[in-house]
Amino acid sequence: MGKHDDFQTAGDFEAFENLAETGLAAEARGWLSRLANERRFSANTLEAYTRDLRQFLSFLMGHLGKRPDIADFSDMKPGDIRAFMARRRTEGVESRSLLRALAGIRSFARHLEREGKASASAFANVRSPKIARSLPKPIPASEAKALADTACRDGDNREPWILVRDAAVMSLLYGAGLRISEALSLRRREAPIDGIDSLTILGKGQKTRMTPVIAPVRMAIEDYLALCPWTLDPDGPLFVGARGGPLSPRIIQLAMERLRGALGLPDSATPHALRHSFATHLLARGGDLRAIQELLGHASLSTTQVYTAVDSARLLAAYKSAHPRAG
């Protein structure tokens, strides 16, 4: 069974059949199959694109007064697409979600064009929604270090090995800049212990990168493995839950919520904020932006450059609080 078969069920296909003529519904299934098997899109992205296309087809069915077919896609005008986006805005959908929806529908239109079934020109003539880019909210260095330390978990009545496990995961997020999904997808045989000082990470878009692992992070993982009561399969997950199964990201999120109260941190202090902190603190200490881009696994330098704005904001705040004429 292929990746597409795991994601795309008969129920998904029937949903398209209810919203579009058979030929268009079959093309939708072929498009999703290509994204899954050739482009290697994640299950979450496939699910979002499926939902977005369903919503667009549902809109077209009301807009046209019938189930749309391939000819309707070929005859699409920019005004039809703008009408869909306007409808979604009245339903409270924000620009970021609209941008993703438009990207998914454009991708489907390009699929039809490649197959010689329809033109995607109408979608090229629709301006994408503008998104106000919010700056990442890093955690101060002292608190970020505390989150990766078992000492700040004193008073927590959970089992000691679980507290050490949570500290090891957070050490990877802050010490190596990993996404939580990347940390929790590590296999036992990949554990950076016994002098191993790097990890090969499979990140977004199935891109691999080499990430160095500093001594404190290795020690945190070694402490976890020494206390973990479960026998870990070399090809199984490195981090396991209380019953020995794969560790859920939600467990780490809940652990962070507990520590926020203990350390007096804001709600923005999430596991992903540790990754932001990794990048911001490296930059503040003179780290090269290109090197930080590689460590984070960003495809584009523009994605990493947002941290220069964070660092500039920090410097400006320090200047305003310290300079005698800043007020």
Mean pLDDT on 118-135? 77
pLDDT tens for residues 280-313? 888 888 888 888 888 888 888 877 777 776 666 5
**HSE-CB of 157 using CA atoms within 13 angstroms:** 0
Question: Of the residues 4, 88, 260, 272, which is catalytic?
Answer: 272
Q: What is the pLDDT of residue 161?
A: 95
- The ranges assigned to domains in the chain are 3-124, 141-277
The catalytic residue among 111, 153, 218, 275 is: 275
Closest to 55 measured CA to CA, from 88, 33, 22, 27 = 88
Whether residue 258 lies in the annotated active site: no
> Active-site residue 275, yes or no?
yes
What share of the chain has pLDDT > 70, as a percent? 87
Return the pLDDT at 310: 66
Q: Could you report the per-residue pLDDT of 194-233, keeping only the tens digit for each?
A: 888 999 998 887 788 999 999 999 999 999 999 999 999 9
Taking only the tens place, the pLDDT of each residue in 140-163 is: 888 988 888 877 777 778 899 999
Q: What average pLDDT score do residues 60-78 get?
A: 90
Question: Bigger pLDDT: 320 or 23?
Answer: 23
Q: How many CB atoms lie within 10 A of CB 88?
A: 20
Q: How is residue 260 written in tokens?
A: 């926020």
* pLDDT tens digits, 172-191: 999 999 999 999 999 999 99
- CA angle (68 as vertex; 65, 73 as ends), nearest 5: 125
Q: Which of 111, 145, 281, 298 is labelled catalytic? A: 298
Q: How far is CA 190 from CA 58, 137, 178, 281, in A?
A: 46, 30, 14, 26
Residue 179 annotated among the catalytic residues of the structure: yes
pLDDT of residue 12: 53
Region 241-257: what's the mean pLDDT? Answer: 94
Which bin fits 130, alpha (ψ -120 to 50), beta or left (φ > 0)?
beta
Catalytic-labelled residue, pool 204, 207, 290, 320: 204
For domain 141-277, the question of CATH label 3.40.50.720 is answered with: no
Q: What is the pLDDT of residue 316?
A: 52
Is 323 noted as a catalytic residue in this protein? Answer: no
